[in-house]
Amino acid sequence: MSLALSTGHEIGLGVTGLVFILFALASSFLFPRFRPDYPGRGLLAFIVVAFVFFFGMLTAVEVFGAETKHHAVAAPQPTTATAATTTAQQTTTAQTATQATTTAAKPAATKVAVSETEFKITALTALKAGEIMFEAKNDGKIPHDLAIKQTGEKTNLIPPGGTAELKVTLKAGKYELYCTVPGHEAAGMKLNVTVS
């Protein structure tokens, strides 16, 4: 599961584990070589230090190995269909045709394909103001999401090979697309876009 951890968490777990392993190896092989009666009269101190390192390692796993709550992978939405919708659709189609003649058609959202990999976001960088549908595809090997820094809007976590849509209305200006998974933005998963 270490692939889903941020770089900072991987380093924290690695350093804590390395210190624990070095203590265990030194206590088993190095200290007895220079002091044959090790731990001898310092047995109580050795036991206390061993427990401190052990509980330190457990705490590090709890702290560095925990995922934040908003990074839980969303379950796919089930789709349902019934035979009764055919009749309802015919009635709705007639009503929609009447409404369409009286009101102007609303322009469709501009669709923008976005590809996310480790650790890069690829998409068009010049967009027209208005309603935009970002169609994000995770082409990487670990989960990512897509967020817009200036608006705070984002997709759910996208599993490898998965897709998600983010529909927003943007005014003219500069925006940053990025991945909110800890450490991913710092690793390069960000893209500046200009809306005019």
CATH code of the domain in which 173 resides: 2.60.40.420
Six-digit token pair at 23? 């203590």
Residues 44 and 114 in one domain: no
Give the pLDDT mean for 139-151: 91
Structural domain includes residue 98: no
**What is the residue range of 52's domain?**
2-69
Say if 41 falls within a structural domain.
yes
pTM for this prediction: 0.46
More confident residue, 31 or 80: 31
Is residue 75 in some structural domain? no
Q: Is residue 36 part of a domain?
A: yes
Residue 91 lies in a domain: no
pLDDT confidence band for 20 (50 / 70 / 90): confident
Task: Pull the structure tokens for residue 134.
Answer: 């970002």
Residue where a domain stops, chosen among 39, 69, 99: 69
Question: 43-66: per-residue pLDDT in tens?
Answer: 898 899 888 888 888 888 887 776
120 plus 62 within the same structural domain: no
Assess whether pLDDT exceeds 80 at residue 77.
no
pLDDT for the residue 84: 46
Task: Report pLDDT for 95.
Answer: 56
Q: Is residue 183 part of a domain?
A: yes
Q: How far apart are CA 93 and CA 113, in angstroms?
A: 31
In degrees, rounded to 5, the angle at the alpha carbon of residue 124 between the alpha carbons of residues 120 and 126 is 130
**112-143 residue pLDDT tens:** 999 999 889 999 888 998 899 999 999 989 99
